[in-house]
Structure 1
């Protein structure tokens, strides 16, 4: 709705601007015509007195046209619409975000560690080193070493050098298999395609036997397809397997390698700090609306443990299952966990307590089916 109101205001400004421009152009054309007509008459008239008369008539016509008067109305309407639009933008996009601030005791050392980790995570090593030096955060030095290795591997892949990536995959072979990742085979497949494209059949066949055949038990169809490429050594562009030469394979594999690398480190591929900031920006309008409603209840806002309204975030910011009680509409928590009724429906514990009137032996009717349920028969659910 807010974006719609902004668009409507923008459309009004655009309409007024076009009208003002059209009126200005029309007035200029009328004046130009009169001036050109006067110049033509002056050029054809010989006595000096006729010249003065023509100029006097021109002045009278221009005064009668009142060009400034024609432009004054549309210009005022444009200025008014533009002023309203500016105020609307300031209201929507320049709110006082300090209203949503809460007094929270931060552990500044931990915050410094998060910032330093973010800088290394985002390949800003020079800035990260400077920040670590000034903030005296030494606990993230190991992260720098790991992320530096990752970005060196990715940089090598950009120049089609798979050596560092294959070395890393071989070193972490067991861990990658435990995670169910086949990235090692994919790296060898890309290296094999480079050999087929630029090398010899004997070299390609030797590579398959040495590095790719150990994966045959689980990936036999893929290896068959790769082996068939040997028949087209040096001329893959005219083979049925041209799709395997697509540069997108390199891009996708680089992204997958970064994911697996971070996974082995116990890190997210996205920086936690950047994800937190992005989620905060998305939830900020809801918090600002809430604070406008609670303008006179600042103390209550500071003490509030749970927001009275939901903050909807995109799927990318949802990392675990969330259960909302269909009766109370409250989100489940440790103090108010989801409970499975004997009929199969699920309610939060507090709703069950209210329905049973806090009597563990008193049966109550499930709000979604005719079944009568006892509190003792309800079981706590873990998502």
Structure 2
């Protein structure tokens, strides 16, 4: 079932809902009009009130509002029912079938969850979770993220780069070892903000004090910064307009988080968020595998390795992993990948089986070329 079919079914439901709402409003407006007309007749004429009310009842009976409501509602309910059945047929609602009962280090899992809350700046939730889950050393997890979010808050809310520059000064040596240009970017932004505020003299003094010492490593960038003086009144229209863009603050805040986490030995993305996202990507394959194993009356919970690969997007691939295309097993120190003379790669065990334990030449399973075990070379990723 493709996505287009689901989208078309949803569009039909949406169309029926709009039709139902429009028709219902028309009936309601018609009823209001009849009632207002009846009230006016009662106030302006000496006719018998019972006669006027009887006429109102007759006109309402002719409109048949309940029948019209029920007809529209029936069509809408039918469209919703068909859409629901399509979703149930297309998607597996019970994802517990993909669950594998594996042993987990609960204290470590709790630390990861608490660290995720602190990383997101949700300190109150992180404290409550740490207390209930009895996370040890929660203060150690929390402290660096408190400083990080304090710096980010100053940057985003007050456009104050002071805390960020102070942090960079304290960690200058470590940042230089990583090849970071964060200090240059912060001073550059501070300089541009002074120019935008019309403080030309102050900006020039600031550049000579903080940017000039960085000229040897970042000559091109420093030249561009000083050239901004020529466009002081219309910097946003200059060739360097990107430096005055509001998005520059957001980009620099993101870079600040990246460098901060790097010095902490933490990844830029939350490990918990990445794990959940990768799990969601692989969930359809796991559900399909569980269904196939169930039809074959096999228990996939007992399998040490998955019989099918999980093709995750590039953003979830952090380490090179080799899976032998013949044995369908992941490479290891005992069974490393081996490069054959033809350029194809198999695991050592596959090559030994094909060569009858190195007793004869063997043919590559993917091309006509033959080779020997002595001609194969181990690959290192």
- TMscore range, shorter length: 0.7 to 0.9
Task: Summarize the Cα distance change of 1:295–1:235 in structure 2 as closer, same or farther, 3 Å threshold.
Answer: closer
Mapping for residues 55-134 of structure 1, pairs under 5 Å: 79-92=77-90, 95-134=93-132
Could you tell me how far apart the structure 2 residues matched to 1:296 and 1:334 are? 35
Aligned residue pairs total: 362
Q: Which residue of 2 aligns with 1:6?
A: 6
**Residue 258 (structure 1) aligned with residue 251 (structure 2):** no
Mapping for residues 286-301 of structure 1, pairs under 5 Å: 286-295=285-294, 300-301=299-300
Give secondary structure in 2 for the equivalent of 1:104.
coil
Deviation at 1:167, TM superposition (A): 1.0
Q: Which residue of 2 aligns with 1:243?
A: 242
Task: Summarize the Cα distance change of 1:210–1:93 in structure 2 as closer, same or farther, 3 Å threshold.
Answer: same
Q: Which residue of 1 aligns with 2:202?
A: 203
Q: Which residue of 2 aligns with 1:165?
A: 164
Residues 234-268 of structure 1 deviation map (CA, whole Å, 9 limit, x = unaligned): 66456554432111211111111111111111111
Q: Which residue of 1 aligns with 2:41?
A: none
Deviation at 1:21, TM superposition (A): 9.4
Task: Summarize the Cα distance change of 1:353–1:153 in structure 2 as closer, same or farther, 3 Å threshold.
Answer: same
Task: Summarize the Cα distance change of 1:243–1:13 in structure 2 as closer, same or farther, 3 Å threshold.
Answer: closer
Could you tell me how far apart the structure 1 residues matched to 2:128 and 2:73 are? 54
Contact kept in structure 2, 1:361 and 1:376, CA below 8 Å: no
Deviation at 1:363, TM superposition (A): 1.3
Residues 41-80 of structure 1 deviation map (CA, whole Å, 9 limit, x = unaligned): xxxxxxxxxx9xxx9xx99xx8xxx999999999867654
Task: Summarize the Cα distance change of 1:153–1:311 in structure 2 as closer, same or farther, 3 Å threshold.
Answer: same
Deviation at 1:364, TM superposition (A): 1.2
RMSD: 4.0
Mapping for residues 275-294 of structure 1, pairs under 5 Å: 275-294=274-293
Give secondary structure in 2 for the equivalent of 1:339.
strand
Q: Which residue of 2 aligns with 1:41?
A: none
Contact kept in structure 1, 2:242 and 2:248, CA below 8 Å: no
Q: Which residue of 1 aligns with 2:216?
A: 217
Task: Point out the more displaced range, 1-10 or 272-281.
Answer: 1-10
Deviation at 1:327, TM superposition (A): 4.5
Task: Summarize the Cα distance change of 1:143–1:380 in structure 2 as closer, same or farther, 3 Å threshold.
Answer: same
Q: Which residue of 1 aligns with 2:375?
A: 377
Q: Which residue of 2 aligns with 1:189?
A: 188
Task: Point out the more displaced range, 126-135 or 262-271.
Answer: 126-135
**Residue 139 (structure 1) aligned with residue 175 (structure 2):** no
Deviation at 1:197, TM superposition (A): 2.9
Task: Summarize the Cα distance change of 1:24–1:362 in structure 2 as closer, same or farther, 3 Å threshold.
Answer: same
Give secondary structure in 1 for the equivalent of 2:218.
helix
The alignment's TM-score, normalised by the length of structure 1, stands at 0.78
Deviation at 1:120, TM superposition (A): 0.7
Could you tell me how far apart the structure 2 residues matched to 1:195 and 1:18 are? 54
Task: Decide which of 352, 366, 379 is 2:364's aligned counterpart.
Answer: 366
Could you tell me how far apart the structure 1 residues matched to 2:358 and 2:24 are? 82
Task: Point out the more displaced range, 237-246 or 307-316.
Answer: 237-246
Residues 303-322 of structure 1 deviation map (CA, whole Å, 9 limit, x = unaligned): 11222223232222111223
Contact kept in structure 2, 1:123 and 1:147, CA below 8 Å: yes
Q: Which residue of 1 aligns with 2:39?
A: none
Q: Which residue of 2 aligns with 1:317?
A: 316
Task: Point out the more displaced range, 68-77 or 326-335.
Answer: 68-77
Residues 88-131 of structure 1 deviation map (CA, whole Å, 9 limit, x = unaligned): 33454561122112211222211111111111111111111122
Could you tell me how far apart the structure 1 residues matched to 2:317 and 2:127 are? 32
**Is there any run of 5+ residues in structure 1 with no aligned partner, and where?**
29-50
Structure number with greater Rg is 1
Residues 131-159 of structure 1 deviation map (CA, whole Å, 9 limit, x = unaligned): 22222212342221111111111111112
Task: Point out the more displaced range, 298-307 or 164-173.
Answer: 298-307
Contact kept in structure 2, 1:212 and 1:223, CA below 8 Å: yes
Deviation at 1:220, TM superposition (A): 0.9
Deviation at 1:349, TM superposition (A): 2.5
**Is there any run of 5+ residues in structure 2 with no aligned partner, and where?**
29-50
Could you tell me how far apart the structure 1 residues matched to 2:69 and 2:199 are? 79
